[in-house]
Structure 1
Amino acid sequence: MTTVPTTPTAAAPATTAPAPAAPGRLGQGELRRRVAVVLSDLPGDVFTPGEIARALGRSAGAVGNALAALTDRGEAELVSASPRRYRATATTDEAAKGGGAPRTRPVPAPAAAPARSKVAPASPSGTSGASEKGSAKGGKAAPGGPVVRPNGQTYHPRRLADLPDVAALRKLREASVPAMLYGPPGTGKTSLVEAAFPDLITVAGDGDTAVADFVGEYTQAPGGGYEFVYGPLVTAMTEGRALLIDDATLISPKVLAVVYPAMDGRRQITVKAHKGEVITAAEGFYVVAGHNPGVHGAVLTEALASRFAAQIRVSTDYDLARALDIAPRAVRVARNLARRQESGEIGWAPQLRELINFQKVAGVLGDEAAVANLLGVAPEEDRDVVAEVVSAVYGRAVTPLALGQQV
C-alpha cells in the first residue's frame, strides 16, 4: 500500500486559512480569476501557491493548478521553480476582470523576489517567461519546449487537440473532465501525467490492489495501539490534488468502485473502515487513469470506461526518438515491428522506453550488444518475427544477448 502522512479527518483540505473567500466549489474559471486578482493587485511582487492559497482560503493544490493554467495562457509568469513563485504579466489584469468575488480582500505578504536570471525560466507548460510576455498580444502563450518532471527528467510535449499535451490535460482538469490514457507500456503515459500535474499522487494498480490501498487502513502506532493512516485517494481529495490510477484495468472492478463516487456529482466517499467518515473532494481534485490494452489481465469494463469522458491514445513518437539521437536503424526496426503489430501478426513492438534503453546499452556495451539485447527483450512468442526484422535492417543474423565462452 502507498503510505502517506495522516491527514485531518475533516472533509475539507488541510490548509490554514482565513475566510476571505466563500467555502465550497467555485464556478468554472473563478478560482483562476481570483488568483489573477492577487497577482494583478501587486504586480511587482512574487508569490508561492501556498501564500495565495492562505489568502483565498483554498487548497494549495487547487491554487497551484490555477497558477499553472494562468502561466499556460501567458497571464502569469513562473519566476522560480524551487520553490515555485509567480508574478503578474501584462495580461494578468485582463484575467482578473469579470464577475465573481470583489477585488477588495486580504492579499498575502509578498515573498522575497529571487535574483533574476538572464535566461527566462521555463514555465510548467514548457514556455519561457519571455515567450509568455511575447504572446501577450495574442492572449495565449505559444506552445513551448520540454517540461521538467518532478523527478528531474525531461518530458517533450506532443500535440493534442491543437495544444501541447501538457496544456490539454490541464484544461481537462480545470473543466473536471476525467481522462484515461491508453496504449502499449513504455509509450510515456505516466511521464505525460507527471509533467502535467506537479501535485500528482499515484496508485500503481495490479491484481492485488485493495480498497485499503486507496482509502487507507489501521496501522500500529509507534507508541502502541493502532491509528488510521489515510490512503492516496483521501489525500488527493482533501488536498485538491491530481490522482493517477496507473494500470487501472489490472485492478478488480469491485476495488475501483470506491473511486467512482468521488468522480461524479457527489464528489464524496465514505471510509467504512474509519467510523464511516465522509470525505468530500476539495477543489482541484482530479482523477486520470492509465490503461495498457493487450496486457494480460487488463480488463476495461464499461463501468470504468464510462467514468472517463476523455480517452486518449498514446503511442511511441518515433520523431522524438530520432531527436533524442537514438540510432536510426533501431528506430527503423521499431517502426517495422509496429506495423506488424497493428496488422495482428505479432503482439509486441519496441516502444520509446525500449528505444531509450537500447541507447543506454549501446553507450555501455556497444551497438552489437544493444541490438542483441533488443531481440532478447522481445516475448518468446514474437521473437522469430523480431529476429527477422532486426536481421533485415542490420544485414546480419542476430541472436539474443547471452554469455559466451569463458574469458
Structure 2
Amino acid sequence: MAKILADHAGSMFTVTELAKMLGHSGGAVGNACDTLVCRGEAERAGSNPRMYRATSQTAAAAQATAVSAPGPSQPAPVPRSRPTPQPATAAPPPGGRPQPITRPNGQQYHPRALAQLPDVEALRRLREAGVAVLLYGPPGTGKTSLIEAAFPDLITVAGDGDTTVGDLIGEYTQDASGGYEFVYGPLVTAMQEGRALLLDDATLISPKVLAALYPAMDGRRQIQVKAHKGEAITATDGFYVIAGHNPGVHGAVLTEALASRFSVQIQVGSDYDLAASLKINRTAVRVARHLATGQQAGEVGWAPQLRELIAFQKIADVLGTEAAFANLVGVAPLEDRDVVAEIVTKALGRPVTALALGRQL
C-alpha cells in the first residue's frame, strides 16, 4: 500500500480504490492506512469518504516492505480534487517514540504502551483480526480518547439506562411532508459502511437492548430490523464493535452475556506521568497519585483522573492555584471530601476547603 501511495505522490485514494487495487478487504486496507498515518508514513486527506496520500516518509516505508504495485490491468484512479486537509499527525522518527494523534475535537492523544505496542496500533490490529475489545476503568482516564485516536471512522453511542433498541438500530421518523420514513441507527450505519462502533458506557444499557447487537458480533454478522419489514442487514468488512465500561458508576453492570462478546478486556487508569509532562501543577499530580494509591488500598473511594487534572490546570490558569485546589476538593464525592481536603491541606501546608462564594462585595 505504501508503494502505491509513493508511486502516485500528490494523488489521493479512497479505501475502496486501494482495496480493489490490492485485492484485499476494505476493513483490512482501512486499518493499514490508519497504521501508516499513525507512523507518519501516510496522510489522511479526507473523511467522507476516507482518503489517503503519501508523505515524505512513504517511499522509505515502501522500500522496507515488499508490496505489489498495481499492474497494467489495474490502472491508478484519476487523482481527486484536494479537500480541506484533516488535522495532521506529527511524523515520528523511524523506530522512535510514537507522536501524539489529533482527535476529532482537535485535542491530541498521547499513545501509551499496550502489549509492547502503542495502544492505538494494538487496537487497530485487534480490529483487523476481528477481536472485540472492552476498555474499563474510572471516568476521565482516557478510554474514549484512545478509541477516537485509534479509529478515525468511529461512530459513538452514548449508553445510559434510557437507550432503546431503536436508538441502536433505527426507527420511523416524521419527514418534512408529514409522512414517516425509517431512519437507520448507528449500529446499522456502522454495519453498512464498515465502520467502528463505540458503545460508550455499554454497561448502563439494558441487557435486553444489547441483545439486539449480539448477532452482529458473532459469526452471523447480521441483524434483522423487525421494525422495518424484517429487513436483514449484513455487516460490511471493517465493521467493528468496541465498548467502554466504568465499573464504579452506579447502575453499571457487566453481564456475563456482554463480557463473553469481548475477548479482550483492558484496564485503563490515569497516566500521571503524562499529566506531569503536560506541565500540570506538580503538587496537584502528587495529590492525585496519593489518592489513587489510597483508592487501590480501599482507604478512599475517589481519586482525580487525568480529566480532572487537565481541568485543574485550566482553572488554575484562569482563577489561580488556590481556587483550583479548592475546586479539586469540591468535585470530590461528598463521602470522600473530608479525606481529599485533609490530603490537599497536608500537601499545601494550609487549610483548604471546597470552592464556595464568599461575602457580598
Task: Give the TM-score taking structure 1 as reference length.
Answer: 0.79
Unaligned runs of at least 5 residues, structure 1: 1-34, 115-120, 136-140
Q: What secondary structure, in the 3-state scheme, does the structure 2 residue paired with 1:68 have? A: helix
Separation in 2 of the partners of 1:106 and 1:222? Answer: 44
1:43: how far off? 4.0
Describe the shift of the 1:151–1:305 C-alpha distance in structure 2 as closer, same or farther (beyond 3 A).
same
Paired residues in the alignment total 351
Q: What secondary structure, in the 3-state scheme, does the structure 2 residue paired with 1:46 have? A: coil
- Equivalences for residues 7-406 of structure 1 within 5 A: 35=1, 38-39=4-5, 42-49=7-14, 52=17, 63-72=29-38, 76-78=41-43, 80=45, 84-87=51-54, 88-92=58-62, 94-97=65-68, 104-111=73-80, 122-123=88-89, 127-128=91-92, 131=93, 135=94, 142-406=96-360
Separation in 2 of the partners of 1:259 and 1:154? Answer: 31
Describe the shift of the 1:201–1:80 C-alpha distance in structure 2 as closer, same or farther (beyond 3 A).
closer
Separation in 1 of the partners of 2:79 and 2:71? Answer: 20
1:207: how far off? 0.6
Separation in 2 of the partners of 1:264 and 1:51? Answer: 25
Describe the shift of the 1:159–1:50 C-alpha distance in structure 2 as closer, same or farther (beyond 3 A).
closer
Separation in 2 of the partners of 1:165 and 1:395? Answer: 39
Q: What secondary structure, in the 3-state scheme, does the structure 1 residue paired with 2:168 have? A: helix
Structure 1 contact 79–85 (Cα < 8 Å) conserved: yes
Aligned-pair identity (%): 64
1:275: how far off? 0.6
Q: Which residue type is aligned with residue 127 of structure 1?
A: A
Structure 1 contact 179–309 (Cα < 8 Å) conserved: yes
1:161: how far off? 1.1
Separation in 2 of the partners of 1:102 and 1:173? Answer: 29
1:66: how far off? 3.0
Structure 1 contact 49–60 (Cα < 8 Å) conserved: no
In structure 2, what is the equivalent of residue 6 of structure 1?
none
Structure 2 contact 27–128 (Cα < 8 Å) conserved: no
1:317: how far off? 0.6
1:113: how far off? 7.7
Separation in 2 of the partners of 1:204 and 1:38? Answer: 38
Separation in 2 of the partners of 1:227 and 1:264? Answer: 29
Structure 1 contact 54–108 (Cα < 8 Å) conserved: no
Which 10-residue stretch deviates more, 43-52 or 306-315? Answer: 43-52
Deviations 1:19-74 (A, max 9, x none): xxxxxxxxxxxxxxxx557436x444522325726855999776433311344567
1:80: how far off? 4.8
Separation in 2 of the partners of 1:359 and 1:71? Answer: 31
Q: C-alpha root-mean-square deviation of aligned residues, in Å?
A: 2.7
Structure 1 contact 181–311 (Cα < 8 Å) conserved: yes
Q: Which residue type is aligned with residue 145 of structure 2?
A: S
Q: Which residue type is aligned with residue 90 of structure 1?
A: A
Q: What secondary structure, in the 3-state scheme, does the structure 1 residue paired with 2:261 have? A: coil
Separation in 2 of the partners of 1:146 and 1:397? Answer: 38
1:85: how far off? 3.1
Q: What secondary structure, in the 3-state scheme, does the structure 1 residue paired with 2:60 have? A: coil
Unaligned runs of at least 5 residues, structure 2: none
Q: What secondary structure, in the 3-state scheme, does the structure 2 residue paired with 1:306 have? A: helix
Describe the shift of the 1:170–1:51 C-alpha distance in structure 2 as closer, same or farther (beyond 3 A).
closer
Describe the shift of the 1:45–1:367 C-alpha distance in structure 2 as closer, same or farther (beyond 3 A).
closer
Deviations 1:134-173 (A, max 9, x none): x3xxxxx544211100111111111111111111111111
Structure 2 contact 160–205 (Cα < 8 Å) conserved: yes
Separation in 2 of the partners of 1:252 and 1:231? Answer: 17
1:316: how far off? 0.5
1:174: how far off? 1.1
Describe the shift of the 1:51–1:301 C-alpha distance in structure 2 as closer, same or farther (beyond 3 A).
closer
Describe the shift of the 1:51–1:214 C-alpha distance in structure 2 as closer, same or farther (beyond 3 A).
closer
Q: Which residue type is aligned with residue 64 of structure 1?
A: G
Q: Which residue type is aligned with residue 86 of structure 1?
A: R
Q: Which residue type is aligned with residue 33 of structure 2?
A: L
Higher RCO by CA contacts (8 Å cutoff, separation 6 or greater): 1
Separation in 2 of the partners of 1:361 and 1:161? Answer: 36
Q: Which residue type is aligned with residue 53 of structure 2?
A: Y
1:384: how far off? 1.2
Q: What secondary structure, in the 3-state scheme, does the structure 1 residue paired with 2:52 have? A: strand
Task: Give the TM-score taking structure 2 as reference length.
Answer: 0.89
Deviations 1:273-298 (A, max 9, x none): 11111111111111110000121000
